Copies of this chain bind each other. A is one copy, B any other.
Amino acid sequence: MTDDEQELGITESKSHNTGDWYAEVVRKAGLASYGPEGMSGFIVTRPRGYALWEAVQNALDAEFKDTGVQNAYFPVFIPESYLEREKDVVEGFDPEVAWVTQGGHEELDERLAVRPTSESIIAPYIAQWVRSHRDLPMRVNQWCSVVRWEATETKPFFRTKEFLWQEGHTAHETDEGAWEETMLRLDQYESLYEDVLAIPVLRGQKPPHDTFPGAKTTTTVEALMPDGKSVQGATSHHLGQSFAEAFDITFSDEQEEERVAHTTSWGVSWRCLGALIMTHSDEQGLVLPPTVAPTQVVVVPIWQSDTREEVLEYAEGVTAELEDAGISVELDDRDERNPGFKFNEHELNGVPLRIEIGPNEVDDEELTLVHRPDGESVVEDRDDVAETVERHFDEVYAKLYAAAEETLDGAVREADDRAEILGTLGRHGGYVETPWCGDVDCEAEIKEQIAAEIVMVPFEDDDELIGTDHEETCGVCGEPAERTAYFAKSY
C-alpha cells in the first residue's frame, strides 16, 4: 500500500470501536482537524465540514425567516454581573466559562465571560425593545459560536470547548403563544433531522428535573446513534414568565395595562453534524444524503488511450448538463489517478452518487450510476440525466432514512421492572420504555447502576399512560405510574 492508499483506508471498526472509527472518518474525510497545541478541546472546521454546517444553516434559516424570525448579533462577551443576574433566576446554572480578564495591557475592572449562551445579554435588550403588545411576538435569532470550558475528551462536533450553534429567543403576549412557538421550533428541528439529515428522531419533553434551568418545559428531539446511545438533537424551551420577570420583559396590552411577557428559547448546535456523520457513515468512510453533500455527484470517466477522447467528451457533456440543472457535480478527470483510486477517494469523502462512464456507456448512450450507501449499481439512459439523477438522490435518501429508521424501531424496547430495565439497557443499549412514577429518585437509581437516564417523556397526547387512571406501576419503584419514560445512555 502506498501512503496515499493508506490515507484512504478506514482502519477502525464502526461496530466494535465506534468512537475511534468516528474520529478516523472525521479526520480522513477532511471534515475537521484538532486545535493547535495548548488548545485541547478546540477543533478547526475544514471546508468539507463547514459546508455541512452551511447546508444546515441554509435549510433552517429559510424556515426561520418564513416563520417570523429575524437574525441579529449580540456581543461575544457578557459582563460577569449580567451572568450573575441570570444565576439568581435559575439557581444552579453555572456553566464553566472562559473569562477575559485583560484588554490590551490593562486588567479589566469586571471579568467578561466569553458567551456560553446569550439569554442574559439578549433578554435585557428584548426588554428594552418591547413596549406594546404590537411589538409582540418578538423573535430574535443569532448564528454564532459559544464556549463552555468543560474538561472532557474532545469528540469533534459532539464535544468541543467551542461550538457553532444558533440560539433563538422570543417573547409573546400569552402562555399559549409561547407554547405554540416552542412547538413550531421543535417541528422545524424534527424536519431538519428527518427531511434534511435523513435521521428519524423521537420527540418529547425532558423530565421536569432535567428541563433547562428556569424553563417551564424543555422539549427535545432525540436521535439514536449506532453505539446505542441517544443524542439530544436540539431543544426548544418554553421559559414561562421566569426570565421575563427577571429581566423585566413587559408590555402594555390593548387596555394599556402593563403585563409580563412569556418567552421561549431554542437551539441546535453542530452536534447535528456529529449525528449525521455517525449515523450514516461506514467502514469505507463518510456517507451523506444528497440534501447536504457539498459534492452530490462525481463523474468518473474510464478510458484506454484509444477511447480517452470520446469518453471524456461524453463525460463533460453529462457534467455540464447536471451543473446547468443546479446539481453540485465534479468531473474527476485526473490523469494521474486510476478509477479504483478515485472510487475509494470519493467513497471516503461521502459523495452520494457516482456516475461511471466508459466506452460501453458512450456506445450505448447510457450511464452507470452507483449509490454510495450500498454500492448498488444501475444502468440508465443518457437522456434526461438531471431528472434521472434527482430520482436517484431520492432513492439514496430513502435508503439512508430507512436504514436509520429500522435501527431506531428495533432499539425501542419495553420493560416493566428494574431488572428488565437494567438488563435490556446493558445488553442492547437503545431506548427502554417504561411506566414511571415521576420521581427523580427512580431515575437516579438506574443512573447509578448503568449510567442511563430518562432522555425523553412523550408529549401528553402521545403518551399512552395518560388517561389510564394510573393502572400501570413505575418500572423502578412499583408506585402508580404517571407517565411513560424513555431511558437511554446518552452523549
Q: Which residues of A contact B (CB under 8 A)?
A: 33, 35-39, 42-47, 49-51, 53-54, 70-77, 79, 81-82, 96-105, 109-112, 114, 121, 124-125, 128-129, 140, 145, 147, 149-151, 161-162, 164
Contacts and interface: CB of A to CB of B under 8 A. Distances in A.
A96 B103 contact: yes
B73 A50 contact: yes
Nearest to A122: B44
Given A42-B77, A75-B35, A98 B98 contact: no
Contacts of A129: 46
Q: Tell me the number of copies of this protein.
A: 2
Nearest to A146: B76
A100 B100 contact: yes
A53 to B, nearest CB: 8
B73 A164 contact: yes
Contact of A44 (B72, B112, B145): B72
Interface of A, secondary structure class, is mixed
Contact of A100 (B43, B71, B98): B98
Contact of A104 (B33, B109, B151): B151
A73 to B, nearest CB: 4
B103 A101 contact: no
Nearest to A99: B102
A112 B161 CA distance: 13
B149 A39 contact: no
A36 B121 contact: yes
A38 B109 contact: yes
B100 A99 contact: yes
A103 to B, nearest CB: 4
Counting from the closest, the 9 A-B pairs by CB-CB distance are A47-B70, A96-B104, A99-B102, A45-B73, A103-B149, A104-B149, A38-B79, A42-B75, A101-B101
A165 to B, nearest CB: 12
Contacts of A50: 70-73
